[in-house]
Amino acid sequence: MYTPHALRQLIDAVGADRVVLGTDHPFDMGIDDPVARLDAAGLIAADRTAVAGGNALDLLLKGRIQ
C-alpha cells in the first residue's frame, strides 16, 4: 500500500489475518522501507506482528501440512 491510511483501510476491510508484507524488489516502486510503512500505519501489536511475518509463516506451514 502506498499510504499508511490505505493499509489500515485494507485491514479494516479484510482483516489483518489476510494481509502479508511484501516488496517489489528488485524493481523500484517508490517504497524503500516497507517495515517503516507498516509501522506508520499505527496498527495494534498483534496485527503488526501478523502482517510483518506471522501470516506468511502460517501460509508456509499450512502448505507443508496439506
Per-residue pLDDT of the chain (66 residues; tens, 9 = 90+): 778 999 999 999 999 999 998 877 777 777 778 889 899 999 999 999 999 999 999 999 887 655
Tell me, what's the pLDDT at 34? 84
Tell me, what's the pLDDT at 64? 66
Distance of CA 58 to the CA centre of its chain: 13
Tell me, what's the pLDDT at 65? 55
Transcribe the chain into DSSP letters. --SHHHHHHHHHHH-GGG------TTS--S-S-HHHHHHHTT--HHHHHIIIIIHHHHHHHHHHH-
Tell me, what's the pLDDT at 66? 52
